[in-house]
Amino acid sequence: GSGVRIAPWVSVGPGVSIGDGTTIGSHCVISGPTDIGPDNQIHPFCAVGSDPQDKKFVTDSSSRLVIGAGNIIREYCSINRGTLGGGGVTRIGDCNWIMAYCHIAHDCQIGNETIFANNTTLAGHVVIDNFVTLGGFTGIHQFCHLGEGSFSAISSIIKRDVPPFVIVKGNSAKPRCINRIGLQRRGLSQESINALRKGYRIVYLQGNTLENAIKKMDTEVDNCDLIQKFRDFITESERGIVR
């Protein structure tokens, strides 16, 4: 694209497209097939679009990496392409901030406006929804799903799905509270936040089974967008949620 800047000692392989205004720092290796959108900043020493770390992988045209617009990818990050068994595409959305030494494995699906602090590591097939924040040295097991606005503390090891707007910490990660500060920064109403806090207490602090917790939320908590997302995520989780 126009206005692309590529620093010295960069290797750009076949099958790579780079959108307008994107910058590639020195010593990066960009392998294809990879589509990089506009206005991204990829800092030095990154490996982007490399083969998946999957023993079953056989090179073919279905393996791709797609990166959206306005992302910042700092030094020494590695991002792998997808595999046929995972749908073929590793996808990163828009306006994400991926700090140094992060790894995003094959078939991961990353939303928009997330923050990955240094040394965050995602195994294959992980799904990260919008506005998620991951503390430094967070490790996420394959096939986990982290809901919108969730947050992990430093060195969290996540082995189950994390519902939207929940803060987790520890090894293995356990729920701590809702991400109140994150919700306030996004301008969510206090009424909605209070409803979500009540839903969180029902699920995590009252000793209810998940089935009973869902029933209690349906009858005792005023419905709003936050509660609906929280409830639907729990009922649709295939891996099971952190508890």
Return the active site residues.
106-107, 124
> CA nearest 33: which of 82, 70, 76?
82
Q: How far is CA 1 from CA 31, 40, 92, 208, in A?
A: 17, 12, 19, 55
Residue 138 tokens, joined: 């967070």
Copy the structure tokens of residue 164: 């939207």
Instruction: Classify residue 39 as left (phi > 0), alpha (psi -120 to 50) or beta.
Output: left
Distance CA 184, CA 192 (A): 10
Residues in the chain: 243
Eight-state DSSP code of residue 140? E
Residue 188, sorted as left (phi over 0), alpha (psi -120 to 50) or beta, turns out to be beta
Beta-carbon contacts of residue 134 (< 8 Å; ≥ 6 apart): 114, 115, 116, 117, 120, 128, 140, 146, 151, 152, 156
